[in-house]
Structure 1
Amino acid sequence: MEFKHTSVLLHETIDNLKPKDHGLYVDATFGGGGHAKYLLSKLNSGTLIGFDQDEFAIKSARLNFADVLANNSKPRLELVHDNFSHLNMNLVKLGYVDGIDGIYYDLGVSSPQFDQATRGFSYRFNARLDMRMDQQQSLDAYQLVNNSSQKELANILYKYGDEKFSRQIASKIVIRRQAKPIETTFELVEVIKEAIPAYARRSGGHPAKKTFQALRVAVNHELEVLEQSLEEAIKLLKPKGRISVITFQSDEDKIVKKIFKKYSEVEVPRGMPMIPDSMKPTLRLINRKPIVASTKELENNNRSHSAKLRIAEKL
């Protein structure tokens, strides 16, 4: 199966980076490479470093971008199989120690990850509970579901999925797994349906949607690594360098908004005649309100409905 994925907010994300020749750019979530392909088309020279923790995405990228990767004189594209929370470490390994001119993130799960039944991300397919973006990590959804306490499960479902029936679902999971482990996605869906009242199942989409989202976020530590990576990315940016971040969940957007605010706003004490350099803001917000998909994109790509793009520039 090829790693094909329709990129969301493609032009808005890349054009707002203001790509320049001889620049160094980072794609923190390479995936199917849609954003990367467009960025490379805007550069006559320069280098893009593509990160992805999904082994399948990296293997697919090596095939799809073979012609670019084959240029040995000066690499236009380098691929890194690692989580984007390790930006600086990997850039140093590759010999890039002078900072970057731009970085972009397309967060969440890609279409191929959802569509590969064996990955266990989707409640639409029956598969072993997995949900790991990095297939080399040990923690998976099976372990969370079968080894977490009832309180831990309820907290995960409420915190990462905003599931209002989190306690009922956690209780049903614990009761069911006492007989035998919950091994597959369909077994978990069955437990969720039993836990949610009939009236609530009649509206609001698939009853397992929030639980599956919550487990996926917890398995991959998505919110924690996002915060860590954004902090590192801002430090790595050169003056006038830009950062673009596409989010699909409110919790992701809150983190981006919080960190951008932290570095773009300064509280100046009353009576201070001038602001010392140590107190000056690090970032300038390019858009105060998030950019969302156009009507045309919404019609052509359903995944773009919840997408929000925030952009900032290093001062």
Structure 2
Amino acid sequence: MQGRHVPVMLQRCLDLLAPALAQPGAVVVDCTLGLGGHSEALLNTFPAARLIGLDRDPMALKHAAERLAPYGDRATLVQAVYDELPDVLGRLGVPRVQGVLFDLGVSSMQLDEVERGFAYAQDAPLDMRMDQTTGVSAAEVLNTYPPGELVRILRTYGEEKFAKKIVEAIVRERAKEPFSTSARLVQLIREALPQAAKRTGGNPAKRTFQALRIEVNGELAVLERAVPAAVAALAVGGRIVVLSYHSLEDRLVKHIFAEGATSTAPPGLPVVPERYQPRLKLLTRGAELPTDEEIAENRRAAPARLRGAQRIREDAT
């Protein structure tokens, strides 16, 4: 499993975090541990650093723990959703960290394990929970949500132009028999969409599956809490890097970083007091994209968008 996992934009992540992690005793948090590819590279590249790895998926933690076992107590792995970062750091007695990495979206393992139901190319149970011990599954969302709520989810999280058509078909079909597997949903989407919409953009079920996954795992709500919490956990000079895989995630991260990098001073002040000065410095001009070479090596890197920022001052008291 580790052999087929290629960490996305790995060298760029390491380069952006390097100035903050070279010092002895530096702590870096991998908020989305997955199979531990980024974490392994961080531990290798920065031998004086300690790593805290978070993941909500027990299977991911198990595989990552095996991979990172050679690093001993330099790696502390915790089952947690990444918006729980402040609680995790509090329990570990770590007041501030020097680096934070988010690699958002669904992991290679979750995509490749058919029974998880993330992939639309294979028939599987409609689950999509990153932690299968808690929460509602994608099947429960499809079978129980009101039509208007399903339309909102597909439009907002999947940016699906034909959400109403798809939901009408879902409601009609679930009245005959509840949904349980992905193949039936994929077929329904194919039949619901106009011919022209099926000619471009890859699998026509992609947007609906993305929307369901985000809803099932509360991904955007979690991210909206997690990124400000991660910025707050950074020591001055600390750095944060976020890899996003769709426009909703990237826009949210862009907004949070831009807000932190903007003065809050009222207009017209001749001298801006420190409490109004920006807390962040942007490390990337816009969102950086993977190279053609990386996409050729790892097709899952294609939609990646990377942004980085540095903490440059404490919050005003």
User: Same fold judged by TM-score > 0.5?
Assistant: yes
Report what 1:182 is aligned to: 179
Instruction: Return the letter of the residue paired with 2:50.
Output: T
Instruction: Return the letter of the residue paired with 2:295.
Output: L
Report what 2:58 is aligned to: 55
Aligned with 1:104: secondary structure? strand
For residues 233-290 of structure 1, what are the alpha-carbon distances to aligned partners after superposition, in whole Å with 9 as ceiling and x for unaligned? Answer: 0111000000000111010100000000111011543431211222111100011222
C-alpha contact (below 8 Å) 2:264/2:278 kept by paired residues? no
For residues 4-38 of structure 1, what are the alpha-carbon distances to aligned partners after superposition, in whole Å with 9 as ceiling and x for unaligned? Answer: 52101101012211222310110001111111111
Deviation at 1:106, TM superposition (A): 0.6
Aligned with 1:306: secondary structure? coil
Report what 2:86 is aligned to: 88
| 1:134 correspondence with 2:137 | no
Compared CA separation, residues 197 and 106, structure 1 to 2 (3 A): same
Structure 1 unaligned regions, length at least 5: 70-74
* Cα distance in structure 2, aligned partners of 1:271 and 1:258: 24
Report what 2:29 is aligned to: 26
Structure 2 unaligned regions, length at least 5: 313-317
Report what 1:249 is aligned to: 246
Q: Of 135, 159, 162, which residue of structure 2 is paired with 1:162?
A: 159
C-alpha contact (below 8 Å) 2:264/2:277 kept by paired residues? no
Report what 2:42 is aligned to: 39
Aligned residues, how many?
309
C-alpha contact (below 8 Å) 1:150/1:174 kept by paired residues? yes
Superposition TM-score, scaled by structure 1 size: 0.95
* Cα distance in structure 1, aligned partners of 2:266 and 2:77: 46
Aligned with 1:159: secondary structure? helix
* Cα distance in structure 1, aligned partners of 2:141 and 2:274: 47
* Cα distance in structure 1, aligned partners of 2:200 and 2:42: 41
| 1:99 correspondence with 2:72 | no
Superposition TM-score, scaled by structure 2 size: 0.94
Q: Percent identity?
A: 40
* Cα distance in structure 2, aligned partners of 1:262 and 1:150: 36
Aligned with 1:31: secondary structure? coil
Q: Is the deviation greater in 84-93 or in 38-47?
A: 38-47
The list of structure 1 runs, each at least 4 consecutive aligned residues, that deviate by more than 4 angstroms after superposition, is 1-4
C-alpha contact (below 8 Å) 1:3/1:60 kept by paired residues? no
C-alpha contact (below 8 Å) 2:50/2:75 kept by paired residues? yes
Instruction: Return the letter of the residue paired with 2:82.
Output: F
C-alpha contact (below 8 Å) 1:27/1:48 kept by paired residues? yes
| 1:5 correspondence with 2:8 | no
Q: Is the deviation greater in 282-291 or in 79-88?
A: 282-291
